[in-house]
């Protein structure tokens, strides 16, 4: 029989289940440790997902089992979880709208952690108090290394991109993807359509550094180079949130970085951070992904 534990989180009643279930077998990381991580990281994570329609990737049987993306908040979602109904043109399930959840408080974060929603993904825009979509407030570049390139090469490209953005009056913030690549974010002022803008900058860098950078998605063009994925700025797309866990062999985290860490990266292992590492970093340095 499934172990169930009633708890109260900031006045909300939740029932946690299967707390001893190991969701990262190679690391021995249990559901209770996942809930503990998200509970403790909440003060710095919540500002980065607040107001953003949520897509989660759930792993009910752990990272070695089947997983699924979930955008539509199920009917059994507690009524205190904020939901917004938004149009989804071109839905693969032929839906005209989706009822998205929005994580804005600790109880909601714990609720999703208990569902084994290991990964949290959000768009580059928020909704207002009435649930209407606002213009994008973030610009993102997803740097994806084509083997044998690694995050070391991503760091080199990130520095190039930082300088280009600085010349454009934008201040970039780096974070790891929690997997093999990294992302750069900048506050966005809606000077133009963000995907077109990001694509143009990616093309400039690809032209100036053809041995290191590629701006097209074609797989055969990418070995040994870093693909600057500008398409994540499409309003229909999401990117893994800062401080979200990733579902790999180990409980790695999409971790905000200092520019010195980017500059000093010599080995891929230099920028791999597990959940306990990130809690310690935040305890010591605070939120490195705060607004520039």
Give tens-digit pLDDT for 245-272.
999 999 999 999 999 999 999 999 999 9
For residue 93, pLDDT over 80 is answered with: no
CB-count exposure of residue 179 (10 Å: 0-12, 13-18, 19+): middle
Residue 2: per-residue pLDDT: 67
Angle CA 251–230–279, to nearest 5: 25
Q: Which has more confidence, 74 or 254?
A: 254
Q: Over range 209-214, report the average pLDDT.
A: 96
What's the average model confidence in pLDDT over 105-130? 98
Q: Residue 232: name the closest of 136, 121, 125, 124 by CA.
A: 124
Sign of CA dihedral 90, 57, 125, 10: positive
Q: 17-21, 90-94, 225-229 — which is least confidently predicted?
A: 90-94
Which residues, at least 6 apart from 267, have a Cβ–Cβ distance to it below 8 Å? Answer: 152
Distance CA 231, CA 126 (A): 18
Question: What would the two tokens of residue 113 be?
Answer: 């952690």
Q: Place 91 in a pLDDT band, splitting at 50, 70 and 90.
A: low
Q: pLDDT value at position 290?
A: 83
What pLDDT, on a 0 to 100 scale, did the predictor assign at position 1?
55
Q: pLDDT at residue 100 above 80?
A: yes
Pick the residue with more confidence: 9 or 1? Answer: 9
CA dihedral 174, 178, 179, 185 (to 10 degrees): -30
pLDDT at 196 over 80: yes
What gap in Å lies between CA 183 and CA 185, rounded to an integer?
Answer: 7
Q: Which of 176, 157, 138, 136 is nearest to 271 (CA)?
A: 176
Distance, C-alpha 213 to centroid of its chain:
23
Q: Would you state the pLDDT for residue 292?
A: 43
% of the chain with per-residue pLDDT over 90: 92
Please state, in angstroms and as integers, the Cα–Cα distance from residue 47 to each residue in 9, 42, 104, 242, 245, following that order: 18, 9, 8, 10, 16
Residue 78: pLDDT over 70: yes
Per-residue DSSP letter, 193: -
Mean pLDDT of the chain: 95
- Grouping H, G, I as helix, E, B as strand and the rest as coil, residue 79 is coil
CB 245 within 8 A of CB 252: yes
Determine phi and psi for 126, rounding to 5 degrees. -120, 175
Q: How high is the pLDDT of residue 90?
A: 66
Helices 31-49 and 106-114, packing angle to 10 deg: 140
Average pLDDT score over residue span 82-103: 87
Is residue 49 pLDDT above 80, yes or no?
Answer: yes
Q: How many percent of the chain have pLDDT more than 70?
A: 97
**Given this model, what pLDDT does residue 218 score?**
76
Please name which of 282, 236, 275 lies closest in space to residue 257, comparing C-alpha atoms: 282
Do residues 120 and 54 touch, judged by C-beta distance below 8 A?
Answer: yes
Q: What is the CB-side half-sphere exposure of residue 239 using CA atoms within 13 A?
A: 29
DSSP state of 248: S
Return the higher-pLDDT residue of 188 and 90: 188
Q: What is the pLDDT of residue 217?
A: 81
Can you tell me the distance from the alpha carbon of 259 to that of 273, in angstroms, rounded to the nearest whole number?
A: 16
Query: Which structure tokens are listed for 192?
Result: 């133009």
């Amino acid at each position: 029989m499934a172990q169930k534990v009633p708890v109260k989180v900031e006045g909300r009643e939740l029932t946690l289940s299967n707390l001893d279930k190991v969701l990262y077998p190679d690391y021995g990381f249990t559901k209770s440790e996942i809930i503990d991580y998200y509970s403790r990281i909440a003060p710095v994570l919540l500002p980065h997902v607040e107001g953003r329609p949520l897509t989660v990737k759930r792993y009910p049987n752990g990272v070695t089992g089947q997983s699924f993306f979930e955008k539509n908040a199920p009917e059994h979602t507690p009524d205190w979880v904020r939901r917004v109904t938004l149009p989804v043109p071109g839905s693969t399930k032929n839906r005209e709208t989706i009822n998205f959840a929005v994580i804005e408080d600790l109880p909601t974060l714990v609720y999703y952690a208990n569902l084994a929603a290991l990964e949290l993904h959000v768009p580059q825009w928020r909704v207002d108090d009435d649930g209407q979509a606002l213009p994008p407030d973030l610009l993102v570049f997803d740097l994806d290394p084509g083997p044998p390139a690694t995050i070391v090469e991503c760091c080199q490209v990130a520095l190039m991109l930082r300088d280009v953005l600085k010349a454009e009056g934008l201040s970039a913030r780096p974070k790891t993807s929690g997997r093999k690549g990294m992302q750069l974010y900048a506050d966005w002022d809606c000077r133009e359509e963000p995907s077109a803008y990001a694509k143009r900058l990616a093309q400039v860098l690809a032209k100036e550094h053809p041995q290191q950078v590629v701006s097209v998605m074609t797989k055969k063009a990418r070995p040994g180079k870093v693909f600057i994925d500008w398409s994540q700025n499409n309003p229909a797309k999401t990117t893994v949130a800062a401080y979200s866990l990733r579902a790999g062999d180990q409980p790695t985290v999409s971790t905000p970085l200092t520019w010195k860490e980017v500059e000093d990266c010599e080995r891929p292992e230099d920028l791999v951070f597990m959940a306990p590492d990130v809690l310690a970093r935040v305890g010591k340095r605070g939120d490195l992904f705060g607004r520039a």
